[in-house]
């Protein structure tokens, strides 16, 4: 059987250990983070990427949650597709049930996976430059922009994915929290949903291959 993976790059660190050396994985592609801010563009890109694999794979693992615009997206796929269970990457990495608990603890939480911790302030500076190219003329600083973006937030929650080499990401996450004056907390994540959905994709691919 042949399996394709179309995923947001936020899951690359978590998916790679699960698929390394797997002969059933014949195609993998990680799309740039940030498309979720443009729902129609994200939807279009995901559909095109999956449908381009028609005839080349038996099933696809779609490395996206609902992400505001992808609900029921698999109905528009020409290839049997499994979508991740969860509203977004955080829900996938800690489970929707635990995500709901964390939201109740503190609605104003910035969630940090190793991927997001590595983005640090530089990503937001690029965002500011894109959204307000004349920010210097307006007297706007990155600190001001960050305070406006995170108005109402009070916590950074770092998710340890259990894959090791975590110290540098944790340090960056703590630095991010300190610079914004937020409290910093840490919790464990789980590969449970990724493993579950990969297994479901294999079952789907096997059934599809037999059908052919």
Average pLDDT over every residue of 62-82: 91
For residues 11 and 89, the answer to whether their CB atoms sit within 8 Å is yes
Average pLDDT over every residue of 71-98: 94
Phi, psi of 17 (to 5 degrees): -65, -25
| Confidence check: pLDDT of 195 > 90 | yes
Give yes or no: residues 80 and 126 share one domain: no
Over the range 147-165, which residues count as b (16 or more CB within 10 Å of their CB) and which as e?
Answer: eeebeebebbbbbbbeeee
Look at residue 123 in the predicted model and tell me its pLDDT: 86
**Count of domains for the chain:** 2
Give yes or no: residues 62 and 123 share one domain: no
**Residue 73 CB partners (closer than 8 Å, separation 6+):** 43, 46, 47, 62, 64, 83
pLDDT over 90 percentage in the chain: 75
Burial class (CB in 10 A: 0-12, 13-18, 19+), 19: middle
Give yes or no: residues 182 and 195 share one domain: no
C-alpha–C-alpha distance, residues 128 and 163, integer Å: 32
Look at residue 136 in the predicted model and tell me its pLDDT: 84
Over the range 22-59, which residues count as b (16 or more CB within 10 Å of their CB) and which as e?
Answer: eebbeebebbebebbeeeeebbeebbebbeebeeebbb
Give yes or no: residues 179 and 202 share one domain: no
Look at residue 211 in the predicted model and tell me its pLDDT: 73
Higher pLDDT, 137 or 52: 52
Give yes or no: residues 146 and 179 share one domain: yes
Residue with tokens 């009070």: 154
pLDDT (tens digit per residue) in 154-186: 999 999 999 999 999 999 999 999 999 999 999
Give yes or no: residues 137 and 80 share one domain: no
> CATH code at 45?
3.40.50.2300
Give yes or no: residues 134 and 156 share one domain: yes
Average pLDDT over every residue of 181-197: 97
Select, from the ranges 65-69, 121-125, 193-197, the one with the highest average predicted confidence (pLDDT): 193-197
Give yes or no: residues 49 and 105 share one domain: no
Give yes or no: residues 149 and 133 share one domain: yes
| Confidence check: pLDDT of 100 > 70 | yes
Higher pLDDT, 211 or 6: 6
Higher pLDDT, 208 or 90: 90
Query: ∠ at Cα 200 (62, 9), nearest 5°?
Result: 25
Give yes or no: residues 75 and 103 share one domain: no
For residues 5 and 61, the answer to whether their CB atoms sit within 8 Å is yes
Domain extent, residue 160, equals 96-188
C-alpha–C-alpha distance, residues 181 and 102, integer Å: 20
For residues 182 and 153, the answer to whether their CB atoms sit within 8 Å is yes
pLDDT (tens digit per residue) in 32-48: 987 767 788 899 999 99
C-alpha–C-alpha distance, residues 175 and 45, integer Å: 34
Residue with tokens 């059908």: 211
| Confidence check: pLDDT of 133 > 90 | no
Look at residue 135 in the predicted model and tell me its pLDDT: 84
Q: Which of 35-39, 123-127, 132-136, 196-200 has the lowest mean pLDDT?
A: 35-39
Look at residue 209 in the predicted model and tell me its pLDDT: 82
| Confidence check: pLDDT of 109 > 70 | yes
Give yes or no: residues 29 and 108 share one domain: no
| Confidence check: pLDDT of 212 > 70 | no
Average pLDDT over every residue of 76-90: 94
């Amino acid at each position: 059987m042949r399996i394709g993976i179309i995923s947001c790059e936020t899951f690359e660190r978590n998916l790679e250990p699960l698929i390394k050396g797997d002969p059933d994985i014949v195609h993998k592609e990680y799309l740039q983070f940030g498309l979720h801010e443009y729902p129609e563009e994200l939807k279009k890109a995901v559909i095109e990427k999956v449908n381009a694999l028609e005839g080349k794979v038996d099933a696809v693992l779609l490395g996206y949650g609902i992400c505001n615009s992808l609900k029921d997206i698999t109905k528009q796929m020409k290839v049997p597709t499994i979508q991740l269970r969860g509203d977004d990457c955080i829900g996938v990495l800690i489970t929707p049930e635990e995500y709901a608990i964390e939201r109740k603890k503190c609605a104003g939480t910035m969630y940090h996976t190793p991927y997001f911790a590595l983005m640090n302030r530089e990503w937001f500076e690029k965002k500011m430059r894109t959204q307000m190219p004349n920010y210097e003329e307006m007297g706007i600083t990155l600190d001001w922009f960050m305070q406006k973006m995170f108005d109402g937030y009070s916590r950074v929650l770092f998710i340890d994915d259990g894959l090791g080499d975590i110290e540098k990401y944790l340090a960056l996450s703590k630095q991010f929290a300190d610079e914004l004056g937020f409290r910093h907390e840490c919790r464990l994540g789980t590969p449970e949903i990724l493993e579950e959905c990969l297994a479901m994709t294999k079952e789907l691919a096997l059934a599809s291959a037999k059908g052919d």
